[in-house]
Chain A
Amino acid sequence: MRLTLDILQVLILILGAPLVRAIVARLKARLQRRRGSSVWRPYAELFKLLCKEELVPPTSSAVFRVAPMVLFGATVCAAGFVPVVHASALLGSRGDFFLFVYVLALGRFFLSLGGLDGGSAFGGMGASREALISSLAEAPFLLGLVAIAVLAARADIAGMVAWTLGQNVFNISAVHILALTSLAMVTLAETGRMPVDNPTTHLELTMIHEGMVLEYSGPSLALIEWASAIKLHTLLALLIALFFPWGMASSGAAWGIAVALLLYCAKVAVLMILLSVIESAVAKLRMYLVPDFLGVASALSALAVIFTMWMKR
């Protein structure tokens, strides 16, 4: 029963990911008074890409072909760490949050290798920018999670969630607010959303993610796009699980799980609305301001870790 639930959670994260991305795009379109495309289109696009022939640049090596698979595998693996409807996860007992962060980092590393190996100028540019951003985002990501882990005295994400579930909703501590702020900023940077990267276009010189995937086509492109959607969904689910887990099912009862699932959908919907509002309201940062953005996130999460000394939630 427990195993089925855990597998169900991973499936929700993986299969729901394109939908989440499409709904954010749709909401953005609505905010800009466009109609936007159907929310089911990403699935059709993935299917179309998976059926297509793959074209590989003649100069590229095996890394170019392997990179999308590693990225997809790593992202799916990371999705296995995050609880969705109850406070445990498929890989919950097999690794702590360090593994979660670095499995995601492994995926990014291979994606930027693939971008470099493709041989186009845009790929190299995107890869070097990606390397800059991920190296700067790593510190706040880890420190934000460390702060929560210190409070919960647990290192696995599922354990942290189980601890938070036992707390009172209203006794918010400085640690949680600081960690939430910095992790939300990191989520924006890690998933290439608006103040850091523009996810909607591959027509500008400042592109990061789109620059790296420019040379990819067919099934490889499908894997990369799907992986980045899964990453967005996983990080949103992580924010929900760490900071607003209340309502998760405590036992295996069917109606409890149904309620938890509905509540999860509502929470994700709120986050998606927030994300689309932020993306419509904020202009993209200049590349040289991105270190400032992430520096602020680092300071917030460092402060959160320091605060764990004083705060007993």
Chain B
Amino acid sequence: MGLVGIATEKILSSFSVFLFLTILLLAVARRISTSVLLFGLQSAIIAAEVFATAFQEKLPEVYIVGALVFLIKVVGIPRAFFLLVKRLKTVRDVKASTTPTQSVFIAAAIIYLSYAAVHSYGGAVHVPDDPLAAAVSLILTGAFLMVSRKKALMQMLGLLVLENGIFLAALITTFGMPLVIEIGIFFDILMGLLLMGIFTFRISDTFEHLDVSKLRRLRG
């Protein structure tokens, strides 16, 4: 118990701080591969929190969820992304419509906002402030990434970041959803990723680029 118990406590109390760091780094990342690595890191942090929750609340099925998170979000999805990037032979730049400074200020504002929003709510339901604020800001950052990056791949990544946020919020408020639903969600993500992967291939085939801001006209 001793050492593992202390480690779980520390993970639950202070790992959300690293989530904020990944959010800020995602805002400044210039390359798609960097963003994918950051997403993998973020998912690894969330997986650690899942395992810590499982240990602390003694819920065996949450271990399975944690293993799924690790396999799918830390190993599977980043690999799929790297494969996509390699196959599509696209430019490495994320084509941000804001400068890095603006993005990081927006991300900072998002984190501030989510703290302000969560502050009054967290005390009422006995949930620690930090992880809940991290979850809300992950959701908002995912949405921000989707609207501000022009590459189709980055919009998939934004959606995944958003999903990470929803997952984290479910984890801290209710110790995760039931296993069946969780598995269903993972299946959804994988299917969505597959579909979006096919779509990006189609986009790059017909338009010879992946810039969604230029998708104005229909083309046969």
Chain A residues proximal to chain B, CB less than 8 Å: 170-174, 177-178, 181, 291-292, 295-296, 298-300, 302-303, 306, 310
CA distance A178 to B19 in the complex (A): 12
CA distance A243 to B57 in the complex (A): 33
Are A310 and B115 in touch, CB under 8 angstroms?
yes
Are B99 and A292 in touch, CB under 8 angstroms?
yes
Are B100 and A295 in touch, CB under 8 angstroms?
yes
Given contacts A181-B21, A295-B100, A296-B104, contact A173 B14 (CB under 8 A): yes
Q: Interface on chain A toward B: helix, strand, loop, or mixed SS?
A: helix
Could you tell me how many residues of chain B have their Cβ less than 8 Å away from some Cβ of chain A? 22
CA distance A299 to B119 in the complex (A): 22
CA distance A302 to B13 in the complex (A): 23
A282 to chain B, nearest CB (A): 12
- CB closest residue in chain A, given B108: A303
A299-B108, A300-B104 are known; give 8 further A-B pairs, CB within 8 A: A171-B13, A172-B17, A177-B18, A177-B20, A295-B105, A296-B100, A302-B108, A310-B119
B37 to chain A, nearest CB (A): 14
Q: Does B207 contact A (CB under 8 A)?
A: no
Are B28 and A296 in touch, CB under 8 angstroms?
yes
A285 to chain B, nearest CB (A): 11
A298 to chain B, nearest CB (A): 8
B134 to chain A, nearest CB (A): 9
5 A–B pairs (Cβ distance < 8 Å), ordered by A: A171-B14, A177-B18, A177-B20, A295-B99, A300-B104
Provide the B94-126 mask, 1 if CB < 8 A to any CB of A, else 0.
Answer: 000001110011011001100100010000000
Q: Does B41 contact A (CB under 8 A)?
A: no
A161 to chain B, nearest CB (A): 21
Are A299 and B17 in touch, CB under 8 angstroms?
no
B93 to chain A, nearest CB (A): 13
Q: Which of A173, A181, A295, A299 has the most CB of B within 10 A?
A: A299
Are B24 and A300 in touch, CB under 8 angstroms?
yes
Q: Which residues of B have CB within 8 Å of A292?
A: 99-101
